[in-house]
Amino acid sequence: MGNAKLWGLKKSPWVFHLAAAACNNCDIEILDLITPRWDVERFGIVLVGSPRHADALLVTGVINRKTLPRVLRVYEQTPKPCLVIAIGTCSCSQNIFTPSYNVVGPYDKHMPVDVYIPGCPPKPETMIMGIVKALKRL
Amino acid sequence: MKKEYSKKILDEINAKFPEVIIKIHSPRRTYISISREKVYDFVEFLYKEKGFRFSIATGIDTRDGIEIIYHFSHDEAGTYYNIKVLVPKDDLKIKSMTMLLPATDWIEREIHELLGVDFIGHPNLVPLLTAETWPADLYPLRRDYADEHKNIKIKKKLWEES
Amino acid sequence: MRRIVPIGPYHPLQEEPEFFKLIVEGEKVVDLEINIGYNHRGHEFISQTLTWDQIPFLVERICGICSDSHPYAYVLAVEDCAHITAPPRAQYIRTIIGELERIHSHYLWLGLAGHFIGYNTVWMWVWRYREPLLDLFELIMGNRNHYAINKIGGARRDILPEDYPKIEKYLDLLEKKNAMFTNAILDDPVIRARLENVGILSKEDAIAYGVLGPTARGSGYACDIRKDDPYDAYDKVDWNMIVFEEGDVLAKAKVRLIECNESIKIVRQCLKNMPDGPIETRVDEIPPGEGIGRHEAPRGEVFHYVRSDGSNMPVRHKVRAPSFMNVASNVVAVKGYSIADAALVLAAVDPCYCCTERTFVYENGKKKYSGQDLLKLSWEKTEKIKRRYGK
C-alpha cells in the first residue's frame, strides 16, 4: 500500500496548499504555477481541496498562535508518506517576524520538513526545481 | 484655498468647545487635545454635524497614561483631525463610540486586548486578534511588556467541532 | 430553522477554519459573524525594535499583493513628521510604481473573481497578462514582488531612460487587453446575472462603516486620497476618479477595470514629464513629533502614524490597512443573499488580508458541506444561469 502511494507521489504529486499567517506573496506565486506561463498541471501536479487527498503539503507563512492547532490537525489528516515542502523564508526560518509575541516557531519545530525553498518570495522556477529535487530523492 | 477651509472649521470648534488645545502641525494635519469626559460629544459633533469620516484610532502607552488618538478625515479638504485623549493608568475606562459609529467596533476591541483599556458600553468586547490561549491580562503594546513572555507555553489543542 | 455556515472568502485553496460564520435560514443569509486573528504577526510591536530605515522592509511584508502601498504610506508619514520633501524625480518614480502596482492588484482580483464564478478562462487569461508586468518590476527593481522602491527622503532605485520604451510597450499591450476584458465581462449576460444586484452596500452604510477604495466608490461615495489630499506627482497629472452608484459587485468590478485605464494614463504622463535630478534627499535625523501618511492603495486608504522622540527608533507606529474597515462592512453587505452568492460578496471587497478559509456547513453540529462544495455551489449557479441563456 505504501509503495502504491509512493509511486503515485513520484509520478503525479497531488499537493495541498496550507498557509498559516502568510503575507500571501508566496501563495500568489504558488497559484502562478498553474497559470499558462508555467502550467505545472502538465506534469501532473494538481492542487487539491482537502488534505486527505494530498501527497505533498506546500506550506507557507510563519505560524502564529491561533493557527498552530489547525496546522497540526491538517498534518495529522494527511495520509503518510507525504512530502512537506516549506516555501518561502517565513516557513523555513520565520524571516523578520522572530521578535514578535505571536509567532511560535518555523514549521520544522512542529513537523518534519523535507524540502526548504527559501526566498521572499521564491520565483516559480525555484519552486519547480525544489519539488523536482525532492521527487528525485525518493 | 484648502488652508482657509480648515480655518473656518477650527473657528467653529473653538466656539463650541473652548477648552480644547489645538496644534497645527502642517496645512493638512491638525492635532486637538480634549478631556476624557468631553470627547464623546466632540466626536458626535464631528461625525454628525460636520460629516467627517472616521479613519482609525491609535493607542499609545505613555508615562502619563494611555493616550488614545481618534483620527478623522475631512475628505473635501484633504485634512486630518486627530483627537487626543489621555486615560490615566489607575482608571483605564472610556466611553465606547460603537453605538454612535459602527466603524469603531473593531479598533476598540484591538486597543482593549493590546493595551488594556476598558470601553464602557461596547456590545461585544472580546479579543479580536490574539489567540484563545493568550493570557487576558498580558498587554503586548505596553512599554513594560517583557520579552520573556514570548515563550508562553501553549497546549496542543485538538480541533474541536463547535 | 437557523443553520450556521462557517466560510472564508479569499483563496479557495487555503486552509484555516471559522473565519466567517454565516447564519442561514433556508437558502438566505440572515447574519454574519467574523472571526479574525489568523494573520496577526505583531507588526506594530516589531516596529518598536527596528530603526527608521529598516521599517520599510518590515512593512512591505504586511501584504504581498499591495506590497508597495505600505512602505509608501510609512515613508510619507515620516516625511510629514520631519517636514522633508522628496526631490521631484523621486516623486514621479514613486507615483509610477504605485500605479503599476494598482494594475497588478486589480488584475489579480479579477482573475480570482472569475475563478469564484467558475470562469477559469478569465482567471488564466488575466493572470497571463499580469506576467509581463511582473517581469517589468523585476527589470526595474530586482524582484517580482516586495520591490522596496520607497525610502525616507526619496526612492531607492532609478528608472533608467533606456527602460522607458519597455514600459511604454507594455502599456500599449495592456490598453488593448483591458478593453478586451472590460467588454468581455460587461457584455456577457451570465456574468452580469451573477454580479448584478448582488451584495449591495448602500451609501449610508458605506459612510457609517468607513469603507474605502473601490468598495466605497462602487457605492457612490466619492473618496480618493489621490484627489482629496494629493501627494507626490498625483496633482501634476491629469486623470479622473471613477465612481458608480449601484453598490453591487458589478459596480465594484467596473470601478476596478476602468481604474486600470486611468492608471495607464497617469504612468504615460509621468514618463513623458519625468524631471531630471537626484532621487533622494539626505536625512540626518527624525526630530521629535508625530506624522501621518496616507496612500491610495488598490484597496483603499492605507494609513500610517508614527511618533518620534528624536532617537533612531519610533516610539509608536500604527498601521491601518483598508481591509480593516472594508471587511467589517460585510456584515451588512451579505444579508439577504443566498449561500452561493456569499463567497462572491465576501470576495468583492478584495480582502488583502491574507486570510483564511475553510468552509463547512453545519446543521445542528453535524457537518454537511465542505469548502470545495461551497465553491461548487457557486459554479453550479453559473451553469444554471448559462442554461437559462441557452449557452
pLDDT exceeds 90 at position B119: yes
Whether C64 contacts chain A with CB within 8 A: yes
Sort C100 into a burial class: Cβ within 10 Å, 0-12 / 13-18 / 19+: buried
Give the model's pLDDT for residue C289.
93
Q: Are residues C174 and C129 in the same domain?
A: yes
- Quick one: C200 and C311 in the same domain? yes
Give the residue from C10, C14, C106, C323 with the most A CB atoms within 10 Å of its CB, the best one to mutate.
C14
- List the 38-67 stretch of A: residues with Cβ below 8 A of B: 64-66
Residues C157 and C281 in one domain: yes
| CA of B22 vs chain C CAs: smallest distance (Å) | 14
Residue C362 is predicted with a pLDDT of 33
Interface touch A70/C49, C-beta < 8 Å: no
Residue B126 touches chain C, beta carbons under 8 Å: no
Nearest CB partner across the interface for B131, out of A65, A72, A100 = A65
Which domain range does residue C355 map to? Answer: 2-39+325-388
CB contact under 8 A, A101 and C45: yes
Residues in chain C: 391
Looking at per-residue confidence, does C382 or B65 come out higher?
B65
> Between C340 and A76, where is the model more confident?
A76
- The whole-number average pLDDT for the span B8-27 is 89
Residues C335 and C197 in one domain: no
Number of domains in chain C: 2
Neighbours of chain A (3+ CB pairs under 8 A): B, C
Residue B6 contacts residue B63 (beta carbons within 8 Å): no
Residue at which a domain ends, from C302, C324, C346: C324
Q: What is the pLDDT of residue C363?
A: 34
Question: For residue A109, what is the domain's CATH number?
Answer: 3.40.50.12280
C352 and A CB contact within 8 Å: yes
Chains that touch C (3 or more CB pairs under 8 A): A, B
Residue B44 C-alpha, separation from nearest chain A C-alpha, in angstroms: 36
CB pairs under 8 A between A and C: 121
Statement to judge: residues C283 and C351 lie in one domain = no
Q: Could you say which of C282, C307, C324 is where a domain stops?
A: C324
| Domains, in order of start, for chain B | 2-144 (3.30.460.80)
Q: Is the pLDDT of residue B110 over 80?
A: yes
Judged by CB atoms closer than 8 Å, whether chains meet at B132 and A66 is answered as yes
User: Which of A18, A24, A63, A98 would you mutate first to test chain C, the one with the most C CBs within 10 A?
Assistant: A24
Give the one of C15, C37, C40 whose C-beta lies nearest to A18's C-beta: C15
Q: For an interface test with A, which of C11, C14, C15, C133 has the most A Cβ atoms less than 10 Å from its Cβ?
A: C15
Kindly list the residues from chain B whose CB atom is less than 8 angstroms away from the CB atom of residue C208: 101-103
* Predicted pLDDT of residue B4: 63
Report the distance separating Cα C229 and Cα C227, nearest Å: 6
**Do C31 and C177 belong together in one domain?**
no
> Is C254 in the same domain as C108?
yes
pLDDT of B93-105, one tens digit each? 999 999 998 889 8
Q: What is the DSSP string of C308-370?
A: E-SSSS-SEEEEE-THHHHHHTHHHHSTTSBHHHHHHHHHHT---S-------EEETTEEEE-
B92 within 8 A of B112, measured Cβ to Cβ: no
Residue A116 has pLDDT above 70, yes or no: yes
For residue A28, is pLDDT > 90?
A: no
* Below-50 pLDDT ranges, chain C: 8-18, 353-370
Same domain, C255 and C217: yes
Q: Which of B80, B130, B162 sits opposite C40 (nearest CB)?
A: B130
The domain of A94 spans 2-137
Cβ–Cβ below 8 Å for B58 and C40: no
Smallest Cα–Cα separation from C355: which of C63, C107, C119?
C63
Contact C57, C29 (CB under 8 A): no
- Collapse the DSSP code of C222 into the 3-class scheme (helix H, G, I; strand E, B; otherwise coil) and give the result: coil
Same domain? For C132 and C275 the reply is yes
Residues C291 and C276 in one domain: yes
Task: Round to whole Å and give the CA distance between C146 and C160.
Answer: 20
Is residue A7 over pLDDT 80?
A: no
**Residue C259, min C-alpha distance to chain B (Å):** 20
Please tell me the distance in Å from A105's CA to the nearest CA on chain C.
12
Q: Which three cell numbers stand for residue A14?
A: 497531488
Per-residue pLDDT at C75: 94
Host H or E run for residue C176: helix C164-187
pLDDT of residue C387: 81
C42 touches chain B (CB under 8 A): yes
- Answer yes or no: do C319 and C329 share one domain: no
pLDDT score, position C10: 37
Measured between beta carbons, the chain C residues lying within 8 angstroms of A49 are 12-13, 370-372, 375
Of C324, C347, C372, which one is at a domain's C-terminal end?
C324
Whether A136 contacts A41, CB under 8 Å: no
What is the pTM for the complete model shown?
A: 0.90
Residues belonging to chain A with any Cβ–Cβ distance to chain C shorter than 8 Å: 16-29, 31-32, 35-37, 47, 49-51, 61-62, 64, 66-67, 70, 74, 95-97, 99-103, 120-121, 123
> Can you read off the three cell numbers belonging to residue C249?
459587485
Tens of pLDDT, residues C206-262? 888 888 889 899 999 988 889 888 888 898 999 999 999 988 888 988 999 999 999
Nearest to B33 by CA among B74, B83, B89: B83
The helix (run of H) or strand (run of E) holding residue C211 is none
Place of cell 447564519: C23
Q: Do both C309 and C342 map to the same domain?
A: no
User: Does residue A8 register a pLDDT over 80?
Assistant: no
- Chain C, residues 276-305, CB within 8 A of chain B, namely 289-292, 294, 301, 303, 305
Provide the mean pLDDT of chain B: 84
Average pLDDT of the residues in A62-90: 86
Instruction: For residue range C117-175, list pLDDT tens digits in order.
Output: 888 888 888 888 889 899 989 988 888 888 889 999 999 999 999 999 999 998 999 89
Searching chain C, which residue's CA lies closest to the CA of residue B100? Answer: C208
Taking CB atoms and an 8 Å limit, are A66 and B154 in contact across chains?
A: no
Q: What is the pLDDT confidence band of residue A16, given thresholds at 50, 70 and 90? A: confident
Report the pLDDT value the prediction gives residue A106, as an integer from 0 to 100: 87
> Which strands sit side by side in the sheet containing A46-47, from one edge to the other?
A46-47, A14-19, A56-60, A83-87, A115-117
User: Residue B134 and residue A72: Cβ atoms within 8 Å?
Assistant: no
pLDDT at residue B160 tops 60: no
Q: What's the structural domain count of chain A?
A: 1
pLDDT band at B151 (very low <50, low <70, confident <90, very high): low
What ipTM did this prediction achieve? 0.89
What is the rounded average pLDDT for all residues in chain A? 84
Q: Which three cell numbers stand for residue C87?
A: 526631490
Between residues A4 and C371, the one the model is more confident about? A4
Size of interface A-B (CB pairs under 8 A): 28
Task: Find the CATH number of the domain harbouring C294.
Answer: 1.10.645.10
Asked if C145 lies within 8 A of A28 by C-beta distance, the reply is yes
